[in-house]
């Protein structure tokens, strides 16, 4: 083993890490050239590893486009040492783990996590991916179909379609231009032996140790982790791989200075301005692109976003690196437009270029850089661990390709060099001549479909068929845009200005709690102590827990306001959602700095009002106070505006009566109406599984309003007094649940609650007499309820179908043993269903088995999305698999059964790595007013004690065909691949095909008793 180590590149003390990082580190270079990062954490219950190899889709051979992606898939299907296709995935599943991989342009990453005691076995299987993959001929055609199905999925997603258009604008000689997902045609379905030969050759040429970086995280000491890694990965093929080299840059001079118009499938409008810049790797510790992104993407007062928002032209704006390669990066400013903004695209572009010019003319600002560097340093110094160790391993393996070994952890945060010359050079490149402008709008749809569209320059992208048109960006465009902007400004100067100093940068990182003892310091789910009840009043239930485990200067304040709004109807719900949107928009310039400084808030209305604030606690009270006061201010401003225009008779009188603030709020309300309406109308453009899940919820959760009912409300601009009246009515009677958790004293928690309730009372709030109780449908026994939705009729571009089958079991938390049987059945079924329905039968790219939960009612669910079979036939194939799965459970050895039990126990008892994970755990008990904080402990103990015979009895009682307590629902969403074939059923089965059918079904079926609300315990209970 010692001979396999060429050198220890970095010892533990040299690795720069956050002060709170509990791990020790070592970086090795093996003799074969492979670099290894070892991370030891004695308290970790889950281990992980990731390997990133420097080759990706850019290395695809021209005759096999998509080979890198296909190769990634094939590595999972067997090696010489472990030839069984599901050996790796089953081993991980049986030991509390899972795995994944992704292929990028120049890198491919594979990663897994597993219960800590089983790291060595997992590494043994993982290493063989890179030593002895078999590329078994029997799996090539099947996995090729899986890649083809993945590509079909992407063909109806706007993100992927528009990426293909972007690729079509690159230089043809550069590999970014090429199609890289792969499908049956490009991968050589007609020449499978040839494809296998290409896979073997490509693997030999690219998968060499010198091109690989490995990260291993485990609880073992560094010496032991080193032995594990060396004994396995020292056998990886020697070589440096192939250094990326391309005949041209992706966007040479003749490829920029253009406007590209494209048509999305969804109702959407956006402008993206792209500029090619030198690669990120050129200035890793100066990060000039981060400085520019901060300047252009800022949303504070006088920013580009703020000025566009004053005109009601922008919904969202972001800036940063969109594509990053070893030869070039593509920097982007992305602007999501409102419908009004879509009508003023030229003015938006003129303002964008004016903003760029202002930043360039002002020159590099060292003070702004110092502020940005301080924020980066704070983020790193107080960095919380990744929620999962495989996330950490994957990011570390990738960072090793970019940063020196000792900077692997800090490098992505580091802003050590102020290079004013480089910033100036980059800013000098951000000119219209060097720009590629993408304008995406469903407004182009008619123009692109006309009979003369091709003559007018419209064409179809080769692979995913998005319509687009290119034209040169010339001086005429720029002067025309400038003229339109001058007209919009009415002779005034734009109010663009550089970012101001950030008032939210935290300064006090001191911890409020004294050092904890015993369980106070535990991060283990089975040991964490519950929060304490602080206030129990008719209007408020307040809980608090001061953190003594994570020792981080962060806190989270979660508040849920129960109202009677949902029962009042869809109009009242829509008004509350609009109101929350307006308040958030009104807060944006203020709250943006807080967000940049590691604080955040959320204000939204689903069926009740929820508000959360969280992050560094130093300035958090300031943010909370402004947010809750703004809720009251905006409502009162709306009421004043509504009253002021009651008697107006002309447009001129209207503007005068509203005043500046009234006009501002009316414009914000209209923007939010359009955004919400667009979001709801895009529902039928979502993935079939998402559409099916929505209707599953509509069927299971009674008295739910449907999107069409919200759309009907939102088609017209609401009356100001009617809207403000609905909001005031909603807030007139409330009950508040609140949790304050983290670096905050109980007095601070009471202060938060006081701020919150004072502003509700300011609006006349009184205690809500009774909370809404939700009813969940009890499916009929011994029959199948089928809901079929014809998505193809509403979205002819959607080829895929989806089938989701749910076998309803009953209420959770009543019988922990039954809950354990369900969870364990789903856990074992996931690998089995994937192997049969996806790998072998190739029914679709998406195949899952999981627990389905609606409120407090659970079931066993299987989901398949694809275009190979009609959902009614997929349903039967799921039934066939389920019968086989029952036999699989029967035949499972006691040893394997215990492995699966232990795997689930390991998953549930994995140490929390972030404060917010514990916060979420407590909130899950407080929100439904269940207050069973020991639930995780009791449920885990029931799982630990479960016997195989009990799982078999559960299967026979609830899942097996003909089972006495079987209640089955089959949700079938039809894409175009279903043709004109519809489902048919025979009694006692029921077929539903519309919302009206669903609601009639509710009238003839039972529901489960609503969950009971518990009394809040006293502080001494």
Residues 233-274 pLDDT 10s: 999 999 999 989 999 999 999 999 999 999 999 999 999 999
**Tokens at residue 538, please?**
């008719």
Q: What angle (nearest 5°) sits at the alpha carbon of residue 845, between those of residues 840 and 850?
A: 90
Owner of token pair 């969403």: 973
- Are 455 and 468 spatial neighbours (Cβ–Cβ below 8 Å)? no
Is the bond preceding residue 988 a cis peptide, omega within 30 degrees? yes
Query: In whole angstroms, what is the distance from residue 424 CA to residue 429 CA?
Result: 9
Among candidate residues 339, 331, 351, the one with its CA nearest the CA of residue 270: 339
% the chain with pLDDT above 70: 99
Query: In whole angstroms, what is the distance from residue 562 CA to residue 660 CA?
Result: 34
**Edge to edge, what strands does the sheet with 46-53 contain?**
5-10, 24-30, 35-40, 212-218, 46-53, 108-115, 98-103
Burial class (CB in 10 A: 0-12, 13-18, 19+), 342: buried
Query: In whole angstroms, what is the distance from residue 722 CA to residue 1004 CA?
Result: 36
With 50 as the cut, is the pLDDT of residue 653 above it? yes
Query: In whole angstroms, what is the distance from residue 407 CA to residue 414 CA?
Result: 9
pLDDT band at 6 (very low <50, low <70, confident <90, very high): low
With 50 as the cut, is the pLDDT of residue 392 above it? yes
pLDDT band at 1 (very low <50, low <70, confident <90, very high): very low
Burial class (CB in 10 A: 0-12, 13-18, 19+), 636: middle
Radius of gyration, CA atoms only, the chain: 29
Q: Tell me the three state secondary structure of residue 479.
A: helix
C-alpha to C-alpha distances, 315 to 88, 308, 710, nearest whole angstrom: 45, 9, 20
Q: What is the pTM of this model?
A: 0.94
Give 3-state DSSP helix, strand, coil % of the chain, rounded to 5: 45, 20, 35
Among candidate residues 33, 34, 80, 75, the one with its CA nearest the CA of residue 202: 75
Query: In this predicted structure, what is the pLDDT of residue 62?
Result: 96
C-alpha to C-alpha distances, 376 to 294, 552, 598, 1016, nearest whole angstrom: 12, 17, 10, 42
Q: What angle (nearest 5°) sits at the alpha carbon of residue 145, between those of residues 143 and 148?
A: 115
Phi, psi of 36 (to 5 degrees): -130, 130
CB neighbours (10 Å) of residue 604? 14
Q: For the residues of 818-869, what is the DSSP string, one character each?
A: HHHHHHHHHHHHHHHHIIIIIIIT---SEEEEEEEEETTEEEEEEEEEESSS
Per-residue pLDDT averaged across 509-534, rounded?
94
Query: In this predicted structure, what is the pLDDT of residue 1019?
Result: 73
Query: In whole angstroms, what is the distance from residue 279 CA to residue 327 CA?
Result: 6
Owner of token pair 């296998």: 196
Helix (H), strand (E) at residue 899: helix 894-908
Q: What is the pLDDT of residues 558-578, one digit of tens each?
A: 999 999 999 999 999 999 999
Q: Tell me the three state secondary structure of residue 258.
A: strand
- Are 982 and 793 spatial neighbours (Cβ–Cβ below 8 Å)? no
Q: Tell me the three state secondary structure of residue 356.
A: helix
Query: In this predicted structure, what is the pLDDT of residue 514?
Result: 87
Query: In this predicted structure, what is the pLDDT of residue 20?
Result: 85
C-alpha to C-alpha distances, 407 to 9, 412, 413, 416, 456, nearest whole angstrom: 12, 8, 10, 12, 53
Query: In this predicted structure, what is the pLDDT of residue 2?
Result: 46
3-state SS track over 589-647: HHHHHHHHCCEEEEEEECCCEEEEEEEECCCHHHHHHHHHHHHHHHHHHHHHHHHHCCC
Among candidate residues 745, 678, 750, the one with its CA nearest the CA of residue 714: 678
Query: In this predicted structure, what is the pLDDT of residue 171?
Result: 97
Query: In whole angstroms, what is the distance from residue 387 CA to residue 406 CA?
Result: 23
Residue ranges with strand state E in 253-411: 258-262, 269-277, 314-324, 329-337
- Are 620 and 745 spatial neighbours (Cβ–Cβ below 8 Å)? no
Query: In this predicted structure, what is the pLDDT of residue 13?
Result: 83
DSSP state of 918: H
Phi, psi of 893 (to 5 degrees): -70, 155
Q: For the residues of 197-209, what is the DSSP string, one character each?
A: HHHHHHHHHH--G
Q: What angle (nearest 5°) sits at the alpha carbon of residue 408, between those of residues 404 and 414?
A: 90
With 70 as the cut, is the pLDDT of residue 634 above it? yes
Owner of token pair 């279903």: 978
With 70 as the cut, is the pLDDT of residue 838 above it? yes
% the chain with pLDDT above 90: 94
Q: What is the pLDDT of residues 929-987, one digit of tens each?
A: 999 999 999 999 999 999 999 999 999 999 999 999 999 999 999 999 999 999 999 99
Per-residue pLDDT averaged across 145-161, rounded?
95
With 90 as the cut, is the pLDDT of residue 145 above it? yes
Q: What angle (nearest 5°) sits at the alpha carbon of residue 687, between those of residues 683 and 693?
A: 75
Query: In this predicted structure, what is the pLDDT of residue 1020?
Result: 65
Q: What is the pLDDT of residues 155-214, one digit of tens each?
A: 999 999 999 999 999 999 999 999 999 999 999 999 999 999 999 999 999 999 999 999
Q: What is the pLDDT of residues 396-447, one digit of tens each?
A: 999 999 999 999 999 999 999 999 999 999 999 999 999 999 999 999 999 9
Beta bridge partners of 262: 440, 468
**Tokens at residue 240, please?**
């440096």
Query: In whole angstroms, what is the distance from residue 26 CA to residue 15 CA?
Result: 8
**Tokens at residue 222, please?**
């560094």
Q: What is the pLDDT of residues 756-783, one digit of tens each?
A: 999 999 999 999 999 999 999 999 998 9
Among candidate residues 986, 962, 982, 984, the one with its CA nearest the CA of residue 973: 982
Query: In this predicted structure, what is the pLDDT of residue 1021?
Result: 60
Owner of token pair 């021209």: 62
**Tokens at residue 178, please?**
């090429």
pLDDT band at 43 (very low <50, low <70, confident <90, very high): confident
Burial class (CB in 10 A: 0-12, 13-18, 19+), 512: middle
Which residues fall within 8 angstroms of residue 159, CB to CB, at 6 or more apart? none
Q: What is the pLDDT of residues 882-927, one digit of tens each?
A: 999 999 999 999 999 999 999 999 999 999 999 999 999 999 999 9
Q: Where are the alpha helices (DSSP H) in 42-156?
A: 67-74, 87-94, 119-127, 137-154
With 50 as the cut, is the pLDDT of residue 373 above it? yes
Phi, psi of 291 (to 5 degrees): -60, -45
Query: In whole angstroms, what is the distance from residue 116 CA to residue 466 CA?
Result: 47
Residues 124-142 as b or e (16 or more Cβ within 10 Å = b): ebbbbbbbebbbbeebbeb
- Are 250 and 176 spatial neighbours (Cβ–Cβ below 8 Å)? yes
Task: State the average pLDDT for the chain.
Answer: 95
C-alpha to C-alpha distances, 616 to 56, 383, 506, 591, 740, nearest whole angstrom: 39, 11, 7, 14, 13
- Are 446 and 268 spatial neighbours (Cβ–Cβ below 8 Å)? no
**Tokens at residue 535, please?**
């206030």
pLDDT band at 386 (very low <50, low <70, confident <90, very high): confident
Query: In this predicted structure, what is the pLDDT of residue 5?
Result: 67
Cα 447 versus chain centre, distance: 34
Q: Tell me the three state secondary structure of residue 872.
A: helix
- Are 611 and 627 spatial neighbours (Cβ–Cβ below 8 Å)? yes
Residues recorded for the chain? 1021
Phi, psi of 164 (to 5 degrees): -65, -35
């Amino acid at each position: 083993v010692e001979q396999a180590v060429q050198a220890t590149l970095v010892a533990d003390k040299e690795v720069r890490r956050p002060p709170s990082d509990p791990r020790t580190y070592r970086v090795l270079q093996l003799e074969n050239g492979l670099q290894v990062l070892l991370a030891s954490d004695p308290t970790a219950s889950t281990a992980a590893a990731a390997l990133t190899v420097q080759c990706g889709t850019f290395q695809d051979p021209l005759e096999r486009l998509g080979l890198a992606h296909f190769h990634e898939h094939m590595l999972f299907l067997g090696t010489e040492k472990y030839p069984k296709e599901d050996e790796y995935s089953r081993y991980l599943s049986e030991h509390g783990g899972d795995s994944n991989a992704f292929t990028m342009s120049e890198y491919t990453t594979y990663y897994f996590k597993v219960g800590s005691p089983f790291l060595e076995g997992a590494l043994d299987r993982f290493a063989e991916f890179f030593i002895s993959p078999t590329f078994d001929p029997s799996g090539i055609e099947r996995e090729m179909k899986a890649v083809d199905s993945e590509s079909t999925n992407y063909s109806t997603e706007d993100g992927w379609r528009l990426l293909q258009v972007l690729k079509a604008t690159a230089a043809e000689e550069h590999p970014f231009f090429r199609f890289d997902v792969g499908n049956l045609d490009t991968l050589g379905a007609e020449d499978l032996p040839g494809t296998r030969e290409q896979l073997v050759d490509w693997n030999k040429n690219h998968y060499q140790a010198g091109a690989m970086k490995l990260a291993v995280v485990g609880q073992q000491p560094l010496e032991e982790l080193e032995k594990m890694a060396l004994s396995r990965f020292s056998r990886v093929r020697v070589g440096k791989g192939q250094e990326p080299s391309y005949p041209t840059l992706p966007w040479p001079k003749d490829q920029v200075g253009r406007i590209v118009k494209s048509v999305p499938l969804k109702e959407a409008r956006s402008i993206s301005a792209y500029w090619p810049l030198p690669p990120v790797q050129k200035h890793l510790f100066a990060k000039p692109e981060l400085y520019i992104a901060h300047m252009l993407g800022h949303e504070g007062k006088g920013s580009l976003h703020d000025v566009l928002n004053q005109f009601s032209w922008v919904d969202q704006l972001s800036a940063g690196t969109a594509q990053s390669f070893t030869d070039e990066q593509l920097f982007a400013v992305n602007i999501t437009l409102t419908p009004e903004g879509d009508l003023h695209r030229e003015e938006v572009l003129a303002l964008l270029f004016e903003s760029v010019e202002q930043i360039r003319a002002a020159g590099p600002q060292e003070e702004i850089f110092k502020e940005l560097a301080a924020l980066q340093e704070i983020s790193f110094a107080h960095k919380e661990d990744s929620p999962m160790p495989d996330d950490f391993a994957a990011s570390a393996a990738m960072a090793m390709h970019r940063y020196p070994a000792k900077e692997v952890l800090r490098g992505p945060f580091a802003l050590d060099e102020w290079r004013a010359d480089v910033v100036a050079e980059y800013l000098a490149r951000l000119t219209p001549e060097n720009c590629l402008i993408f304008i995406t709008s469903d407004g182009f749809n008619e123009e692109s479909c006309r009979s003369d569209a091709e003559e007018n320059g419209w064409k179809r992208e080769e692979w995913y068929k998005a319509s687009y048109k290119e034209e040169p960006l010339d001086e005429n465009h720029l002067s025309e845009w400038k003229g339109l902007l001058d007209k919009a400004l009415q002779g005034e100067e734009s109010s663009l200005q550089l970012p101001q100093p950030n008032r939210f940068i935290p300064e006090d990182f001191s911890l409020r709690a004294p050092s904890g003892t015993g369980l106070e310091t535990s991060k283990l789910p089975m040991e964490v102590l519950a929060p304490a009840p602080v206030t129990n009043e008719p209007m408020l239930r307040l809980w608090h827990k001061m953190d003594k485990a994570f020792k981080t200067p962060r806190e989270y304040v979660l508040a849920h306001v129960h109202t009677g709004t949902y029962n009042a109807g869809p109009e009242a719900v829509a008004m509350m959602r609009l109101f929350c949107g307006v308040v958030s928009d009104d807060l944006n310039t203020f709250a943006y700095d807080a967000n940049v400084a590691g604080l955040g808030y959320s204000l939204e209305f689903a069926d009740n009002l929820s508000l959360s604030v969280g992050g560094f606690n130093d300035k958090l009270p300031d943010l909370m106070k402004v947010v809750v006061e703004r809720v009251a201010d905006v409502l009162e401003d709306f009421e004043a505006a509504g009253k002021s225009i009651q008697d107006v008779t002309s447009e001129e009188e209207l503007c005068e009566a509203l005043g500046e603030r009234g006009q501002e709020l009316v414009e914000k309300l209209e923007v939010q109406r359009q955004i919400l309406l667009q979001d709801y109308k895009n529902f039928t453009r979502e993935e079939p599984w998402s559409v099916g899940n929505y209707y599953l919820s509509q069927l299971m959760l009674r008295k739910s309003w449907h999107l069409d009912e919200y759309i009907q409300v939102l088609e017209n601009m609401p009356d100001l007094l009617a809207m403000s009246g609905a909001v005031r009515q909603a807030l007139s009677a409330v009950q508040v649940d609140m949790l304050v958790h983290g670096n905050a004293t109980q007095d601070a928690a009471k202060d938060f609650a006081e701020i919150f309730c004072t502003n509700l009372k300011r609006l006349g709030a009184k205690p809500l007499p009774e909370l809404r109780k939700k009813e969940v449908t009890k499916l009929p026994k011994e029959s199948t309820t089928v809901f079929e939705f014809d998505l193809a009729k509403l979205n002819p571009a959607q080829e895929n179908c989806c089938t989701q089958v749910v076998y309803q079991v009953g209420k959770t938390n009543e019988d922990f043993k039954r809950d354990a049987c369900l969870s364990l059945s789903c856990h074992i079924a996931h690998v089995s269903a994937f192997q049969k329905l996806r790998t072998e039968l190739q029914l679709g790219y998406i195949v899952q088995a999981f627990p389905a939960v609606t409120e407090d009612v659970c079931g066993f669910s299987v989901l398949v999305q694809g275009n190979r079979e009609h959902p009614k036939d997929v349903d039967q194939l799921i039934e066939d698999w389920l019968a086989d799965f029952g036999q699989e459970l029967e035949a499972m050895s006691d040893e394997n059964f215990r492995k699966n039990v232990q795997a689930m126990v390991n998953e549930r008892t994995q140490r929390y790595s972030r404060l917010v994970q514990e916060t979420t755990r407590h909130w899950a008990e407080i929100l439904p007013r269940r207050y069973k904080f020991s639930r995780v402990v009791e449920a885990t103990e029931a799982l630990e004690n479960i016997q195989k015979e009990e799982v078999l009895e559960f299967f026979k009682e609830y899942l097996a065909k003909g089972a006495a307590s079987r209640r089955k629902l089959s949700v079938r969403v039809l894409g175009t691949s279903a043709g004109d074939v519809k489902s048919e059923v025979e009694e006692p089965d029921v077929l539903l095909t519309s919302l009206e059918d669903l609601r009639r079904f509710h009238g003839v079926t039972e529901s489960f008793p609503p969950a009971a609300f518990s009394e809040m315990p006293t502080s001494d209970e």
